[in-house]
Every structure is written in structure tokens, then in C-alpha cells.
Structure 1
Amino acid sequence: MDDILITGNDNDAIANLLNKLNSQFTMKQLGLARHFLGITIQSMRDKYFLSQQSYAQSLLQQTNLHKCNSLSNPSSTKQPIKVNQDNTIADAITYRKITAIQYLTITRPDIAHAVNTLSQHMHDPEPIHLHLLKRLLRYILGNITFGLPITKSSMILRTFSDADADWAGDPITKKSTSSFCTFLGDTLVSWTVKKQNTVSRSSTESEYRALAAATADTIWLKHLLADFNIPHTSPVAFYCDNTSAIALENNPVFHARTKHIEIDQRFIRDHI
């Protein structure tokens, strides 16, 4: 990697740093950042907007989908029983090549879950996976201008966690998928979609595993803010939509049916 992006609110400090770097390396200053590693940076008053429209367009060109009809959803809850073979994404090699769409999730958290699902089948994609990849590309075509806004707002963290909506969602392993995201003020700064390592025997257990992962990630973000001299002294608000998980968190008494998730429960309770 030979690209570097320096940012800050002290122009003199940035100039001094550039002078030191120029004395050690051959560098060229390109001025205000507009494009960086395939990401377009739009600067506005008290706001930035990050997008990857050109990168998405190149993926659509590779599959000849740049003129197809768009879709409103990145994935489908009900998969078709029979899928016709499509010449657009004809084989596993093309599938693996287009799965470079993972890089698009840097500014497109709305496709993170669909990309996570498709990436699990790169070794041996079946016709259904080729169909779902094409569906995702058609969704991207209809929302190709989507991106990630960065706005000036409060420095308060908020975390949202969910997993029970996809409890035992994997049809083969019956593992659930953890998903959570964290906002710093009004700006989304962290998000994760990941298949859980073990099988959850209930939606409550699945939700608690997601909460534990979200808690660890949020603690790391608090330490990162402290490195930037931004102490986060107020409690972080956690949002969870599973009433059983919330009830379990408020009940310190463990029963036989909940002993298998005691470690995650204790971990979250300690940090609360």
C-alpha cells in the first residue's frame, strides 16, 4: 500500500508532519481528499459523504447487469425451489470474482448481511447462490448512489444488537447470525454481521451471544475514543428487541435452561 490519508483540524500540524514524511519518502501531496482507494469523498458544510459508486458500477459492468431492472431488496426471505441457470454469473470462478463485492460494504452496511451469506459459499456455489448474487447486484443497481454520511453531532455512543430474527438461520449448520451496529452521535461508525461459532438452542441464547459481541466491540470503541482524547463518561445505551434476553439480564438467578449462556450473561452484566 502506497497511499496515505492525513486528516485533522490543525493545518500547521499536518504541514509539519508532511515535511517530516517528505524527508524520509518520496511523496506527492494531492490536496483535499476526493477519491481514496476507490472511495469517493464528498465534502460539505459540517458533513462528509462516502460512496463507492464507480466501484459498484464496475462490478455491474463485469456481469452485464448495468442495464437490467433493479430490485428493492438485497435478498429474499423465501428462496425459490427451482432456479434457472443464468449466463450472467455462469460459474464458480465468476462467482468468486464478483464476491469482491465485500469491499463495497465499507460504505454500504445495508448489504452486509447479504454479502456475508454469499461469501460463505465461495468454495462451491450452487445455482441458488448465483441467483442470490445476481439479485444483490440488481439491488445495488437501483441504489448505486447510496453511501455513508458522516455528520457533525454529539460524541455519544449508541449500540443496536439483533440476532433472534435469524435464529438457526443457516439451513445446514443451524447456526444463528449475530448482527450489531454502533452510532457515534448520528454517524454509523461500526457494524458487524457474523455467523455465530456455536449452535444456539434458543433465540434468547442467540440474542445474548450477539449482545456479548456487541459489548466487546463497544468497549473497544470507548478505548479508541480515549486515544483521541475524547473520554466517554456517560453510559452507552444498548438497544435489544428480545424481551426474553432483557428479562434474563434483569434476573440474577440462573436456572438449568440458562446455565449454558451464563458466561455471556456475566460478561454483559459486569460492564453494565
Structure 2
Amino acid sequence: MGFNQSKADPSLFTKGYGSEFLALLIYVDDILVASPNLSLIQELKTHLDNAFKIKDLGTLGFFLGIEAHLDSSGLNLCQRKYTLDILSDSGFLDCKPVSTPMVPGHHLDKDNGTPLSDAGSYKRLVGRLLYLTATRPEITYVVQQLSQFVDAPTNEHFTAAHRILRYINKAPGQGIFYPKGDHLQLKVFSDSDWATCSTTRKSITGFCVFLGSALISWRSKKQATVSRSSSEAEYRALAATVCEVQWLTYLLKDLQVDLSRPAAVFCDNKSAVAIAENHVFHERTKHIEIDCHIVREKVTQGLIKLLSIPSSSQVADGFTKALPTSMFNLFVSKLGVQDLHAPAYRGVLEDNVNKEEKGEKGNKLNSLYVNQL
């Protein structure tokens, strides 16, 4: 039918331009179609049905266990049913919720605790939590930490995994929100936690990428080599981040999203920014692998613009370490997540207002509630 397969994502097929644009995303036998022209979608479905006898599920509601809710304000993606299934299978539906997925300052080690007699249950739980990070970015760091011990888990690792269950039980319907009419520019935050692994002394890379105000990519991963300084660790994190930005640029181009300005990459380490912008090799950088200097190349090409920010404004901080409650709540708020299944405030507030008489107290309350809403 004239579709072109994306080089950035082999599962994506595109065709046409503008109002005639058609995108097709395939995962085994699950297919997602998007287009501004409904007649093109219907034509494609008819063609596929004649060839394969497909089942038309209508407007997007579920895809690969992810729930999609589209309205006039934007798109919300969550995994509420998947989350409740995890909690039910683990016996944590009625557990006491906690405010953070990991105790601040707690570091997991392979030698801590007693080895589990049934390691399979731990592996299955971590595997399910890994897929949950598709719509719950705030648990990415903790799940990354737990994933390091699937070969020989202990009771302490299992206890840490149970804390995540207690956290997601607090708001099982929480997911990512993509607002409509947003300005399409890439804003990227890159961070690292130097030598955080007590066993290998390797650092953690964390980054998050926003298209406008919508979070579209994030990662928390241990670096492959040991860094000699925090600046080197930050520079390696920048290299991984820039590679992700380059890939996203190719993908967005296939989706006909024109990025007119360079991606703004924010880093809270001035030395790492200086290394990236300095084209002269010197004693402090000659031991760093050549592939890390892709940052310099992309700065020169105009793909990214490096900007230094204070650590207090670093959004990616929650992808490199466990944060205390106040900082964690601020981190979650910056990610643009929301819970569509949470009880609406309006009904509760209106009930309170109705209980008041039409006196001065009731008028003040009503004015306050309207301003909050």
C-alpha cells in the first residue's frame, strides 16, 4: 500500500503527508493506527481485513495492557488494571500505602540478607514492575536497582520490591498525561550519581526527555565503566542522553514533527558542560573513550544546546537516587503524571458547600473552592 518502514523503529510504518498522513504501529498481532483522516483509517482496515480477517476494536482504549483516555485536553496513558493485577497476585491489595517507592538513603547490596529459596517469584515480580515503568516513570530508579539482583535475590531485595507494591497501591491509576496544543520542542535533563554502586563503584545515568511539556523518554541505568570523577560520570551520562536525543529526532521526523530549534539539554555539572564544549583534548579527558565525545559533535552540528542549571532544578535527579518524600513529590509533579481514577474534588467540595447556610461563612468557603478549582 506504499508504506515506508521507519529506520528508527522497525515496528512503525508511515505513509503520506499533512492531512493524508497515516501511521501504523505493529507489535506481533496488535496494531495501532493513527491519522487525521478517518477515511484513510477505514480504507486501511478494509485492506487488512481482506488479507488477514482482523478484529476491529474501534477507538483506542487498550493497547498492550496500557489504558488510553483521550479527551479535549489531551491523552492519558496508565496501567491501572495491570497494576491491580500485580497487587492482587502479590496479596498487596489491602496493604498500607507509602509515600515513596524506596527508603531515602537505602542502598541495596548483593550480600545483604538471606538468599531466597524461591527466586522465581522475585524474578516474576521484577519483570512485571519493569513493564509498569512504561507509564510510571517515578519507579524507574528503584526497579533498575532491583533488576541487578535477579540472579541471586535475598529477602532484603524482596522487601524492597514489596515497598514498590505499597507505593503503587497508593494510586494504581496514575499515568502519564500528554496535553494537546503543546509547543513541540525537545527539553532534556541529564544527571548522574557518581560511584553509587558500593560493589563496583560504577555511576548511575539518569535522563528524561520532554516534547513540550510531555514526558516521552526516560532512563535509569548503571554505567558500563568506572568514572574517575563526578564530571566524567556526568559527561558519560550526557553521551547516553545525546544518543537518545538523536534517535528521537529521527523518530519524530518519521512522524512529520519538525523540530525547528536544537534540543535544550540541561546539566547541573558545569565541568561536564565545559568538557563537551571544549574541542581541545587535555589531561583530564584523554582517558575517556572516543564515543563519549559524540556530545561535542552534536553541539557543533546544532542538534543540542547545552545549558547549565542548579541541582535544585534538575528534574532527572529522581532517576539516579532515592529521594526523601518532599523532594520525591516535587520530582513526580515535574514529570507530568496524573491519576484519572482519583476521586474528583468537585463532588466533595460541593457537598461541603451545600451543608453551609447562605451566610457569610458559606460565601467565603464557596469563593475559596471556586478559586481552587
Question: How far apart in 2 are the matches of 1:237 and 1:228?
Answer: 20
Question: How far apart in 2 are the matches of 1:188 and 1:80?
Answer: 27
1:149 equivalent to 2:177? Answer yes
1:41 paired residue number: 68
1:228 paired residue number: 255
Any unmatched runs of 5+ in structure 1?
none
Question: How far apart in 2 are the matches of 1:106 and 1:42?
Answer: 16
Contact 1:151 1:187 in 2 (8 A): yes
Deviation at 1:248, TM superposition (A): 2.6
Instruction: Give me the CA root mean square deviation.
Output: 2.1
Question: How far apart in 2 are the matches of 1:42 and 1:199?
Answer: 43
Superposition pairs of residues 1-272 of structure 1, within 5 angstroms:
1-79=28-106, 91-99=118-126, 100-152=128-180, 153-163=182-192, 166-261=193-288, 263=290, 266-272=293-299
Deviation at 1:253, TM superposition (A): 3.9
Question: How far apart in 2 are the matches of 1:271 and 1:222?
Answer: 12
Question: How far apart in 1 are the matches of 2:205 and 2:267?
Answer: 12
Normalising to structure 1: TM-score of the pair? 0.91
Secondary structure of the residue that 1:144 maps to in structure 2? coil
Normalising to structure 2: TM-score of the pair? 0.67
Larger Rg: 2
Question: How far apart in 1 are the matches of 2:86 and 2:298?
Answer: 43
Letter in 1 for 2:236: R
Deviation at 1:69, TM superposition (A): 1.0
Question: How far apart in 1 are the matches of 2:240 and 2:92?
Answer: 37
Secondary structure of the residue that 1:260 maps to in structure 2? coil
Letter in 2 for 1:30: L
**CA 1:197–1:80 in structure 2 vs 1: closer, same or farther (change >3 Å)?**
closer
Letter in 2 for 1:112: T
Aligned residues: 267
Question: How far apart in 1 are the matches of 2:254 and 2:202?
Answer: 36
Which aligned runs of 4 or more in structure 1 are off by greater than 4 angstroms? none
Any unmatched runs of 5+ in structure 2?
1-27, 300-373
Deviation at 1:265, TM superposition (A): 5.6
Letter in 2 for 1:168: A
Post-superposition Cα deviations, 1:174-219, rounded to whole Å, max 9, x if no partner, equal 1111111111111111111111111111111111111011111101
Question: How far apart in 2 are the matches of 1:234 and 1:77?
Answer: 38
Question: Bigger CA drift: 228-237 or 55-64?
Answer: 228-237
Question: How far apart in 2 are the matches of 1:232 and 1:79?
Answer: 41
Question: How far apart in 2 are the matches of 1:187 and 1:136?
Answer: 24
Question: How far apart in 1 are the matches of 2:289 and 2:178?
Answer: 38
Question: How far apart in 2 are the matches of 1:65 and 1:92?
Answer: 19
Question: Bigger CA drift: 240-249 or 99-108?
Answer: 240-249
Letter in 1 for 2:253: A
Question: How far apart in 1 are the matches of 2:36 and 2:177?
Answer: 19
